[in-house]
Amino acid sequence: MILWTAAVSAALVILIVIFILYRRQVKEICRQLAFLKENPTNMRLTSQLPLSEVNKLIDEVNDLLDRSRELRKESLHSETQLKETITSLSHDIRTPLTSLDGYFQLLQESMSEEERLRYIEIIQTRIESLKDMLEELFTYARLQDHEYRLELGKTDFGQCVYDTVFSFYQDFQKRGIEPEADFCDGRIYVRGNEEALRRGIQNMIKNALVYGYTQISFKLYKTDKYAGFRCSNDTEHPDEIDIRQVFGRFYKADSARTQNSTGLGLSITKELARRMGGTAEASLEKGIFSVDFLIPLVEEKPYNS
């Protein structure tokens, strides 16, 4: 009887000690949480006691804290990007508008018919440039809508490439560049959207015209799974190109910052490729910058006789 009473007493003492330890640890956790609430630091909850259940709870809370900090970091990054976007858009649109205003004044003041015609041509070029910029911004805005869907179907990828490349004939002439072309034979069909394909290819060629020094080349090819279009150009300042950032929003190498461009072209190209189940890749080797536009081939059904 005495032994039983002693055992019960010992058990009660142990339970009381465990209860006190649990209570003390819970109070410590509450204290740490209160501190973190008022002081957004990277501190994590800690435990001084070997209590498995409490330690498991602390681990779960720490995981939530880590996720919360990650979300806060992403939110701050998005806010910064939004501010940069607004600044970039304001600058990119204001620059050609200011230029137009200046040429309109010169046009009004000019007494020479030859000068007037020259100013009219410049104004038309600036308006076309501004139109292209606004079209890029509109396309980019649409692609930011996660509910926006491209209508995909069987599309002649090769024909899209041919038509788009040849539509830049006058641009190549103005630059004094004769592009090299290596196009594979036969029809190449992809599961894509014709308008999106043309837009993606156009952006690649425009980028080459901005950054290309003396050479531009095109390649149409296919792999086991993809149809590919490669646009390559030599560069006068290859050290200015950050290959990790070329698909980033509003990216411009230093030598192109004076161009009337949003810097969205390649970003749009990659997003369009992604929306069609493909991708876009960039490389820089021995001063040659290349972009590959890869779109999934249409799966040909076997013919059953």
pLDDT tens-digit series, residues 108-160: 877 778 888 887 888 887 787 777 777 777 777 787 777 788 899 999 999 99
pLDDT (mean) for 273-283 = 93
Pairing mode of beta strands 226-235, 189-192: unpaired
Residues composing the chain: 305
Q: Which residues are bridge partners to 156 per DSSP?
A: 189
For 214-246, what is each residue's pLDDT tens digit?
Answer: 899 999 999 989 999 999 998 887 777 777 877
* Coil, strand or helix at 183: strand
- Strand, helix or coil for residue 2: helix
Question: Residue 261's pLDDT band (boundaries 50, 70, 90)?
Answer: low
Burial label, 77 (beta-carbon count in 10 A; 0-12, 13-18, 19+): exposed
Q: Does domain 153-296 have CATH number 3.30.565.10?
A: yes
Q: Is the pLDDT of residue 97 over 80?
A: no
Whether the Cβ atoms of residue 260 and residue 129 lie closer than 8 Å to each other: yes
* pLDDT winner (highest mean) among 2-6, 77-81, 90-94, 192-196: 192-196
Mean pLDDT of the chain: 80
Quick: pLDDT tens for 39-87: 777 777 777 666 677 677 777 877 888 888 888 887 787 677 667 766 7
User: Model pTM?
Assistant: 0.66
Is 50 exceeded by the pLDDT of residue 290? yes
User: What is residue 89's three-state secondary structure?
Assistant: helix
- In the chain, which ranges are E strands? 153-156, 180-183, 189-192, 212-222, 226-235, 279-285, 288-296
For residue 254, report the phi and psi dihedrals to the nearest 5 degrees: -55, -40
Q: What is the pLDDT of residues 17-34, one digit of tens each?
A: 666 766 777 777 777 777
